[in-house]
Amino acid sequence: MSRFAAPIAEQIWDMKYRFKKADGAPIDLSVEDSWRRIARDLAKVEKEPEVWEERFYAALEDFKYLPAGRITAGAGTARNVTLFNCFVMGTIPDSMGGIFDMLKEAALTMQQGGGIGYDFSTIRPRGADVMGVAADASGPLSFMDVWDAMCRTIMSAGSRRGAMMATMRCDHPDIEQFITAKSDPARLRMFNMSVLVTDAFMEAVKADGPWELKFGNKVYHTVQARDLWNKIMQSTYDYAEPGVIFIDRINAMNNLNYVETIAATNPCGEQPLPPYGACLLGSINLARLVKNPFEGDAALDEAELSDLVATAVRMMDNVVDASKFPLPEQAAEAQAKRRIGLGVTGLADALLMLGLRYGSEDAAAQTETWMKAIARASYLASVELAKEKGAFPLFDKEKYLSGGLVAQMDEDVKAAIAEHGIRNALLTSIAPTGTISLYAGNVSSGIEPVFAYAYTRKVLQKDGSRTEEEVVDYAVQMWRDKFGERELPEYFVNAQTLEPSAHVRMQAAAQKWIDSSISKTINCPEDISFDAFKDVYMQAWDTGCKGCTTYRPNDVTGSVLAVSEKEDQAPGENPADHVADSGEVIYMSEPLERPQSLEGATYKLKWPDSEHAIYLTVNDVIINGHRRPFEVFINSKNMEHYAWTLALTRMISAVFRRGGDVSFVVEELKAVFDPRGGAWMEGKYIPSILAAIGGVIERHMIAIGFIEGEGMGLKSDPQAQVMAVGEAPRGKACPSCGQFDLQMVEGCMTCMSCGHSKCG
Supply the residues annotated as catalytic: 266, 268, 270
| 680-686, Cβ contacts within 8 angstroms, sequence gap of 24 or more | 680/608, 681/608
Paired residues of 299 in beta bridges = 291
* Sign of the Cα pseudo-torsion (326, 332, 333, 334, in order): positive
SS3 of residue 747 by DSSP: coil
CA atoms within 13 A on the CB side of 566: 18
Burial tier of 709 (Cβ tally within 10 Å: 0-12, 13-18, 19+): exposed
Pairing of strands 742-745, 748-751: antiparallel
- Spell out the SS3 assignment of 587-638: EECCCCCCCCCCEEEEEEECCCCCCCCEEEEEEEEEECCEEEEEEEEEEECC
Other Cβ atoms within 10 Å of 530 Cβ, number: 12
Separation CA 292–CA 106 (nearest Å): 48
Other Cβ atoms within 10 Å of 643 Cβ, number: 9
Other Cβ atoms within 10 Å of 199 Cβ, number: 13
Closest CA to 284 of 306, 267, 265, 268: 306
Torsion of the alpha carbons at 257, 263, 267 and 272, rounded to the nearest 10: 10
Where is 680: in which H helix or E strand? Answer: strand 679-681
Separation CA 229–CA 176 (nearest Å): 10
Question: CB of 379 within 8 A of CB of 317?
Answer: no
Separation CA 597–CA 745 (nearest Å): 43
Where is 555: in which H helix or E strand? Answer: none
DSSP output for 419-481: HH--S-S--B-B---HHHHHHTTSPPPTTPPPS-SEEEEEEE-TTS-EEEEEEE-HHHHHHHH
Burial tier of 466 (Cβ tally within 10 Å: 0-12, 13-18, 19+): exposed
Separation CA 267–CA 163 (nearest Å): 6
Closest CA to 648 of 659, 636, 637: 636
Burial tier of 29 (Cβ tally within 10 Å: 0-12, 13-18, 19+): exposed
Burial tier of 517 (Cβ tally within 10 Å: 0-12, 13-18, 19+): buried
**φ, ψ at 417 (rounded to 5°):** -65, -40
Buried b / exposed e along 720-734 (16+ C-beta atoms within 10 A)? ebbbeeebbebbbbb
Closest CA to 666 of 698, 690, 692, 644: 698
Separation CA 736–CA 435 (nearest Å): 14
Count, in order, helices (H) and strands (E) of the chain: 24, 29
Separation CA 520–CA 245 (nearest Å): 12
**φ, ψ at 3 (rounded to 5°):** -80, -10
Q: Which amino acid is at 607?
A: W
Please report how the helices 302-322 and 31-43 are oriented relative to each other, as an axis angle in degrees rounded to 10.
70
